[in-house]
Chain A
Amino acid sequence: MRFAVIVFPGSNCDVDMYHAIKDELGEEVEYVWHDVDNLDSFDGILLPGGFSYGDYLRTGAIARFSNVMNAIVKAAEEGKPVLGVCNGFQILLEAGLLPGAMRRNQNLKFMCRPTELVVVNNETYFSAEYAKGEVISIPIAHGEGNYYCDQETLSLLENNNQIVFKYNSNPNGSLSDIAGIMNEKGNVLGMMPHPERAVDSLLGSADGLKLFKSIVKQWRLSTNVVTS
């Protein structure tokens, strides 16, 4: 499976994402600069964390108008898996690929620490390797991860099982403890915690690796690629 790690000016988790895919997952991966307008040769798209365009105006607001976003929308429409982590999640919200918006953390602090997540839905492209209700340890690192949407949108997210991960102990004030949501079709996931920083027990947790393994497994199932 061939992954693209999209690099915006100000991305800083691109290297971690690349490492997770290449060294820990053992799949193909390439850095893709934000002005590229074709992603047809990739099977999965990864939007890493960081501070795209310095977070000027709002997190993700300017990145959303990068050239590459049209190609990402196209990939999403084609059903390819698209994962946005942290700033990547904020960009997906700004682009309207996922519903809602991010507010500053309720306590106004930038927080960087391991958090416990509950796998709410394990029947997705991104979470099939986890058990339903499994509690996993994935670090957060954000100042603006307080997810918000209106009541109507929340009901839709709940009724369609689009909430994939919730915080066990809400660190940022996020609505309904939401840590990660997917689109209705199930191929676009945005999450604030960083699974790419939890891919080896040396890093304190390897719980994030299953997320990437889920993507590869689901992709192989969908494309009928047989591997040893």
Chain B
Amino acid sequence: MYKVKVYVTLRESVLDPQGTAVKGSLNSLSYNEVVDVRIGKYMELTIEKTDRDVNEVVIELCEKLLANTVIEDYRFEVEEVVAQ
């Protein structure tokens, strides 16, 4: 079994209105050292072992469904776990 953590964020070139609003709020709390906030999505997948390379499978999932690559980037971490 694999535990996969997928992070989907808006691409750097795309304005993130949620992040901008949160940054403004942090600044108004006097945390002026915060210069940028980007908000994204975090997903945890549990994937069974198959013949296929897990990285290849996750890339496919991200490209097909989990991220819209017109506006979003994704990255992921794979951890192998022993099923209980």
Contacts and interface: CB of A to CB of B under 8 A. Distances in A.
Interface of A: 57-58, 61-62, 65, 93-94, 100-101, 103-108, 148-150, 173
A108 B70 contact: no
Interface residue range, chain B: 10 to 19
B46 to A, nearest CB: 17
Interface string B45-80: 000000000000000000001101011000000000
A108 B21 contact: yes
Contacts of B18: 104, 108
Given A57-B65, A57-B66, A105 B71 contact: no
B25 to A, nearest CB: 12
B43 to A, nearest CB: 9
21 contacts: A57-B41, A57-B65, A58-B68, A61-B65, A61-B68, A62-B65, A93-B70, A100-B70, A101-B68, A103-B10, A103-B14, A103-B15, A103-B17, A103-B71, A104-B17, A107-B17, A108-B17, A108-B18, A148-B71, A173-B15, A173-B17
A148 B70 contact: yes
B17 A106 contact: yes
Contacts of A105: 17
Chain B CB within 10 Å, residue with most, of A57, A103, A148, A150: A103
A101 B17 contact: no
Given A62-B65, A103-B10, A104-B17, 18 more contacts: A57-B41, A57-B65, A57-B66, A61-B65, A65-B65, A103-B14, A103-B15, A104-B18, A105-B17, A106-B15, A106-B17, A107-B17, A108-B18, A108-B21, A148-B71, A149-B70, A173-B15, A173-B17
Nearest to A108: B17
A104 B15 CA distance: 10
Contacts of B70: 93, 100-101, 148-150
A148 B14 CA distance: 9
Interface in B5-37: 10, 14-15, 17-18, 21
Nearest to B10: A103
Contacts of B10: 103
Contacts of B65: 57, 61-62, 65
Contacts of A58: 68
A16 B29 CA distance: 46
A153 B66 CA distance: 23
A94 B17 contact: no
Nearest to A107: B17
A11 B71 CA distance: 25
A30 B70 CA distance: 34
A150 B71 CA distance: 9
Contacts of B15: 103, 106, 173
A150 B70 CA distance: 8
